[in-house]
Amino acid sequence: MGTGTVLAIQLVTAALQHASELNQLVLTAQAQGRDITPEELAAVRAKAVSAIDKLEADAA
Amino acid sequence: MKLVVWLHAALLLFAVGCAQLGLQGPQTQPQRIAAGYLTVQTFAETADQALLTGQITKTDAKNLVAGSRVAIEGLDVASMAFAKDCPTAAPACTSAAADAKLNATLAALGALQAYLVGQQAAHAPAAAASGSK
């Protein structure tokens, strides 16, 4: 299997996991009669920043 | 070329909220902001994989880091605008300022994605050659 194909599979898997994560957040909030809270947004933001930090470290 | 197609397909998959898999797409502004952060996360992880497999250079990665941080800042501004205009977070409440910033940030993310795809395409032959050794 080529490098591009492996990366493509990882990319699709990551996109699906994150879409599923968002869906879970939305469903949980809806079940409680509310929208996503600022605390939940902050947690999602922290993961994004962490991924950027890792990219930055690997690029150093 | 396959990678470029898959990259577009994957990000499009996220953008439409995996409707065909039964996953709900973002509808309210907080949901759209959360989707934006998750898109940045997916993007950074993908760029990291591309870096580690030699499909983009460290310089490309540094440019993508800078762009990703700008996207985070844009989403932060959208989030603050929503909090200011909709302090009770009522489901029907929308903030025009948050919407404008969100749309601008998502457009910037699209440009960043195009940059990543372009760099991967430019380095793909070298990566393929080194991988076949």
Q: Which two tokens stand for residue B89?
A: 């977070």
pTM to 2 decimal places: 0.80
Chain B residue numbers with beta carbons less than 8 Å from the beta carbon of A8 are: 2-3, 6-7, 10
Residue B11's pLDDT band, with cuts at 50, 70 and 90, is low
Look at residue B86 and tell me whether its pLDDT is greater than 90: no
> Are B26 and A49 inside 8 Å of each other by CB?
no
Q: Which residue among A7, A26, A56 places its CB closest to the CB of B49?
A: A7
Q: State yes or no: pLDDT of B1 exceeds 50.
A: no
Say whether A3 and B127 touch across the interface (CB within 8 A): yes
Per-residue pLDDT at B129 = 53
Is pLDDT above 50 for B133? no
Look up the ipTM and state it: 0.84
In degrees, rounded to 5, the angle at the alpha carbon of residue A56 between the alpha carbons of residues B35 and A51 is 30
* 3-class DSSP state of B18: coil
Q: Which two tokens stand for residue B116?
A: 């990543």
CB contact under 8 A, B42 and A35: no
Q: For residue B75, is pLDDT > 60?
A: yes
Distance, in Å, from the CA atom of B35 to the CA atom of B45, rounded to the nearest integer, reads: 15
Nearest chain B alpha carbon to A29: B31
| Nearest chain A Cα distance for residue B98, angstroms | 14
Q: What is the dihedral of CA A32, A24, B103, B87, to 10 degrees?
A: 20
**One digit per residue, pLDDT tens: chain A, 60 residues?**
555 555 566 666 777 778 888 888 888 988 888 888 899 999 999 999 999 999 999 999
Q: CB of B18 within 8 A of CB of A16?
A: yes
Report whether A29 contacts B19 (CB < 8 A). Answer: no
Of A3, A34, A56, the CB nearest to B53: A3
Per the structure block, which two tokens stand in for B121?
Answer: 């395409």
Mean pLDDT calculated for residue range B109-116: 79
| Range from A3-17, B9-23, B28-42, B52-66 carrying the lowest mean pLDDT | B9-23
